[in-house]
Amino acid sequence: MQISTKIILESYKQALATAHLLNSAQLSTALIESDFAFAISKYCAHVRLWNGLEVLIRPILPVDIDRMKESVFHVLSNGEVSQESLSLRFNAVTNVVKDDMLRYFTNIDYDSHFAFAALIKEGSTWKGVATARIIQDKDDSSVAEWAAIVLDAYHGMGIGSCLLYCLSCMASHFDIRRLCAVVHHENYPVLHWMKKASAYQEFYRDCRFWMFETPLNKTWIPSDEVRERLERAAHGKGGVEDECMQELQRTVKKIDQERFLNGCRRTVEETGMKETMSGKRNAPVVSFVTSGQDDFDIGDLF
């Protein structure tokens, strides 16, 4: 899977490096940031759900680590994500967040690992309420594991459905034919999804996965307008209105340029964390099935 966002990130990195090397004025850096935000917007969708809620879906960016860290602490402290939701999502209960795990979730490579975030506007700020991701199988490029989590208060609104549909369209576009996940036997909403997606069970890597073909059927998203916006974003042909573009520009502006230039690529430890775990037990890299001895942390939310 070779997603153009990876090329966009590398181009942004090279432009910043050149600007720093030439000691370019702040105006030049601002123009680079503006161009980057516009390029990212092609993978974004601004949709209105059946209940009128407006949602911005965009790729996760390295800068999201700080926002995610703050928000994960907030939602755990205030119970916005219940222990039941965490248990069903990660197949393990946890209330600890480690920096290396957050970096793993936000410093994605846009090649074998891609993630979307869903945000809603509360007053003058945008709040992350859900994320979803796919990680391509290292041995079979036609398969990727998917995962998603939505704040409890926003369950049943269609946010998760939008994210999964968008990911399924992107996966199909890049020749990933099947998406898979380990689903807790009491996770009835996702099991309902699997039935709706005509999924089947397959024993793979010592775990029982639910598999379904990509893309999901168009009936997955009843609204033609919402579905078309999600499909355009998945194919890099999306776009957003001025208000959402301003939010993208603010987010890009928050990127720590020095940290981005010097540490954009994941360290060996961060890259190998799940790969090593997967190699030891052939465990999923997203679903976080635990042997009972592993210390898993949330981080798939901001």
Q: Could you state, in order of their start, the residue ranges of all structural domains in the chain?
A: 5-262
Is 41 within 8 Å of 238 (Cβ atoms)?
A: yes
Spans of the chain below 50 pLDDT: 83, 86-93, 264-302
pLDDT value of position 115: 92
pLDDT at residue number 150: 85
Q: What is the DSSP string of 165-217?
A: HHHHHHHHHTT--EEEE---TT-HHHHHHHHHTT-EEEEETTEEEEEEESSPP
pLDDT at residue 285, rounded to an integer: 46
Predicted pLDDT at 63: 82
Dihedral over alpha carbons 190, 191, 193, 199 (to 10 degrees) = 130
Give the angle 18-19-24 at the CA atoms, nearest 5°: 145
Predicted confidence at residue 206, as pLDDT, reads 81
**CATH pick for 5-262 out of 3.40.50.300, 3.10.580.10, 3.40.630.30, 2.40.110.10:** 3.40.630.30
Q: What is the pLDDT of residue 146?
A: 94
Q: Is the pTM of this model over 0.85?
A: no
Which run of H or of E encompasses 5?
helix 4-21
Contact 1, 114 (CB under 8 A): yes
Angle at 208 between CA 101 and CA 88, to 5 degrees: 50
The strands making up 178-181's β-sheet, listed across from edge to edge, are: 45-48, 54-59, 113-122, 125-136, 143-150, 178-181, 207-213, 200-204
Q: Give the DSSP letter of residue 161.
A: H
pLDDT at 283: 43
* Residue keyed to tokens 């898979």: 180
How many other C-beta atoms are found inside a 10 Å radius of the C-beta of residue 7?
Answer: 13
Q: What is the pLDDT of residues 184-214, one digit of tens each?
A: 888 888 899 999 999 999 988 788 899 999 9
Tens-place pLDDT, residues 110-152: 888 999 999 998 888 888 888 899 999 989 999 999 988 888 8
Closest among 143, 116, 113, 106 to 256, alpha carbons compared = 106
Is 264 buried (19+), middle (13-18) or exposed (0-12) by CB count in 10 A? middle
**What is residue 73's predicted lDDT score, i.e. its pLDDT?**
55
pLDDT (0 to 100) of residue 221: 98
Please give the pLDDT value at position 286.
47
Q: Write down the pLDDT at residue 116.
A: 94
